[in-house]
Amino acid sequence: MTLDKDRLERVRGWAQRYVDARTFAGLSVLILQDGDEVFFDARGLRDLESEAPFERDTVVRLYSMTKPITSLALMTLVEEGHLHLDAPLSRFLPEFAAPQALIPGASHLDQVAPCAVPTLHQLLTHRSGLSYAFNPGLVPAEMAARDLTFAPRAGTLAEGCRRLAELPLAFAPGTRWEYSVGIDVIGRVIEVVTGQSLAEVFQQRIFDPLGMSETGFVVAENQADRFATLYTPLPGDAMDLNATATEGDSLRFVDGPSGSPFLDPTCLSGGGGLVGTIDDYARFAEAMRRGGQGIVSRATAAFMMRNHLPGDIAALGPSSFAEQPMRGVGFGIGGAVVLNAGISGVPGSVGDFSWGGMASTFFWIDPVHDLTTVMFTQLSPSSATPARAELKALVHGALM
């Protein structure tokens, strides 16, 4: 099937409605089919105060769309025989050598029992027992109290992992699915194995080969005047994925180009630290769609985009937030995999591989129709709108 250009024009009207409603300050959408650009649109503002337009070269915070890139970097090391996915985390980070997990029904952090060391595979697929500070539960609450967020200025990646190891796991590895900082920890494993910083690994193994010159952990000097402002509809914490907006300004300022922690980060977060442009991210997504494009083999790319869970995410009893639906959707190495679009309730193809970020960014690869779609905006939290599901429906509605 090919994309009908007249039907794709609906995307522009949809995007304008979000801008007119002051839900998004600005956004862009890029769609490729068979590697050829078939649609691009950018509208609204990247900064309300200066009225600077949201353009094709606007630089955004990728947040969790960093995770698939970190996962790809680890798989290059797997291909080279430096490690294997069932290796215990403690082989690389000794601080995780004697973990304990909360017992089922625990009401205090000291109600724990010894458990197995999580494997790299469990970290990659969010089954390690680690969590996020914004999730419900005892461990997330303690993470929030200790500011264990792997935010840009939250110490170094090595320090964050050492502090994380002081806490119990939220559950025994392998028994549940819970969105977590596991891929931040994978970033540290990559550093230990290579003897390089995560930034150096990304540059050499992914960014340079793919021509991703606008992506990195730091907003470069030549990007500062193109860096978008981050907004939130929430009156409180913009990173509270479980909160709901109240009356008032729908676009409250969170972080702008001046003084942003992304100008001089100390923590190279493999789970959420990258900034970049829409064309750069499309290069990464297209490399995956094309079978690794030499970064990894075609077989390894296909392995990454398969479901690595025994069923869908919902079957593993998650109580956490996720960037995707949980019913009818599995999880691969670095992203979600559609198993049954009918059960998920979102139009799509079996095998769609995707993920999103805290600031409502989103990408997906459709292997059935050879599509790559990337959407950029800067509104946190991503749970504030149904934009991702709507965009998938719009694109599917143009397949004729």
pLDDT of res. 379: 97
d(CA 40, CA 279): 10
20-55: b (≥16 Cβ within 10 Å) or e:
eeebbbbbbbbbbbeeeebbbbbbbbbbbeeebebb
Phi/psi region, residue 351 (left: phi>0; alpha: psi -120 to 50; beta: rest), is left
Bridge partners, residue 39, by sequence: 31
pLDDT of res. 322: 64
pLDDT in tens, 124-178: 999 999 999 999 999 999 999 999 999 999 999 999 999 999 999 999 999 999 9
Contact 301, 182 (CB under 8 A): no
pLDDT of res. 86: 98
- Reported confidence tier of residue 235, pLDDT bands at 50, 70, 90: confident
User: Which positions ≥6 away from 281 have C-beta within 8 Å?
Assistant: 62, 65, 215, 363, 374, 376
Long-range residue pairs from 337-340, CB within 8 A, at least 24 positions apart, any chain: 337/305, 337/306, 337/307, 339/307, 339/312, 340/312
Share of the chain above pLDDT 90, in %: 92
pLDDT in tens, 248-272: 689 999 999 999 999 999 999 999 9
CATH fold for the domain made of 5-64+213-396: Beta-lactamase (3.40.710)
pLDDT in tens, 348-394: 999 999 999 999 999 999 999 999 999 999 999 998 999 999 999 99
pLDDT in tens, 184-196: 999 999 999 999 9
Residue 133 one-letter amino acid: A
Residue with tokens 């010894």: 114
pLDDT of res. 249: 83
Per DSSP, 205 falls in state: I
pLDDT in tens, 70-93: 999 999 999 999 999 999 999 999
Q: Which CATH architecture has domain 75-194?
A: 3-Layer(aba) Sandwich (3.40)
- Reported confidence tier of residue 240, pLDDT bands at 50, 70, 90: low
- Reported confidence tier of residue 325, pLDDT bands at 50, 70, 90: confident
- Smallest CA-to-CA distance from 255 within 363, 179, 151, 184 is with 151
pLDDT of res. 246: 58
H or E stretch covering 114: strand 112-114
pLDDT in tens, 87-119: 999 999 999 999 999 999 999 999 999 999 999
Q: Is the peptide bond before 381 cis (omega within 30 degrees of 0)?
A: yes
3-class DSSP state for residue 2?
coil
- Reported confidence tier of residue 241, pLDDT bands at 50, 70, 90: low
User: Which positions ≥6 away from 80 have C-beta within 8 Å?
Assistant: none
Query: Sign (positive/negative) of CA torsion 130, 151, 306, 195?
Result: negative
pLDDT of res. 320: 66
Q: Same CATH fold, 75-194 and 5-64+213-396?
A: yes
pLDDT in tens, 18-44: 999 999 999 999 999 999 999 999 999
Can you give the residue ranges of every domain in the chain?
5-64+213-396, 75-194
CA-CA distances (angstroms) from residue 177 to 127, 135, 194, 269?
5, 12, 29, 21
Share of the chain above pLDDT 70, in %: 96
Q: Mean pLDDT across the chain, nearest whole number? A: 95
d(CA 254, CA 264): 17
**When comparing pLDDT for 224 and 241, which is higher?**
224
What would the two tokens of residue 1 be? 């099937």
Query: Sign (positive/negative) of CA torsion 171, 173, 179, 183?
Result: positive
319, pLDDT greater than 80: no
H or E stretch covering 44: strand 36-47
Contact 329, 337 (CB under 8 A): yes
d(CA 340, CA 264): 42
- Smallest CA-to-CA distance from 375 within 5, 4, 3, 44 is with 44
CA-CA distances (angstroms) from residue 121 to 169, 183, 186, 283?
16, 10, 10, 26
242, pLDDT greater than 70: no
Q: Which residues are catalytic?
A: 64
- For helices 182-194 and 67-79, give the axis angle rounded to 10 degrees: 40
H or E stretch covering 162: helix 157-164
Residue 54 one-letter amino acid: F
d(CA 72, CA 271): 12
d(CA 2, CA 398): 8
What would the two tokens of residue 327 be? 């019913």
Contact 331, 125 (CB under 8 A): yes
pLDDT of res. 245: 60
